[in-house]
Amino acid sequence: MINRTILVGRLTRDPELRYTTSGAAVATFSLAVNRQFTNQQGEREADFINCVIWRKAAENFSNFTHKGSLVGIDGRIQTRNYENQQGQRVYVTEVVVENFSLLEPRSHNQNQGGSYQNQNAGAPSFDNNQTTPQNSSMNNNPFGSPAASAGNNNAGNSASSANDPFASNGESIDISDDDLPF
């Protein structure tokens, strides 16, 4: 079975941090996640998803986020039910957060009006096994080459073509049908 949820959205309110009787930290919050399509009026609607995070990650999340913070979360969907004071059965569906990432630099969170260039620069990432943030790298290119992330496909650029084994240097490539794997 697979129960995995990945969401990116903004906090609708500050996280509410509490402690259980045994001393475990737990934070609850709601995440506004935009839908991929627009309604008949051309407006983009959002879903408001209840989330819960536990232990040290809950304390970190509460310390580093506030209403309006853009976060990415990774977790699982959980359902539970209880009987309220009026004797009615209440069903709750929520995301139990296992990992989260802050998707804006802290300076942007403090002054919402400011503009910035790289949304992920300096934004720490957390998971439940960590007690301190990991700084994300400035280069989010999965291929690791700064030349590849520059978006320059010009073969005349000697810096990028020197690292590119597929760059055309004017020679033809001799490949027979027997060389192809398919």
pLDDT digits (tens, 9 = 90+) for 100-141: 999 888 766 555 433 333 333 344 455 554 444 444 444 444
The burial class, CB within 10 Å (0-12 / 13-18 / 19+), for 61 is buried
- What is the dihedral angle through the alpha carbons of 60, 61, 66, 68, rounded to the nearest 10 degrees? 140
CB-based contact 155:161 (threshold 8 Å): yes
Is pLDDT at 178 greater than 50 in this prediction? yes
Sketch out the chain's domains with CATH numbers: 5-135 (2.40.50.140)
Q: What is the pTM of this model?
A: 0.58
The residue type at 152: N
The residues with which 56 forms a beta bridge, in sequence order, are none
CB-based contact 52:28 (threshold 8 Å): yes
pLDDT (0 to 100) of residue 180: 66
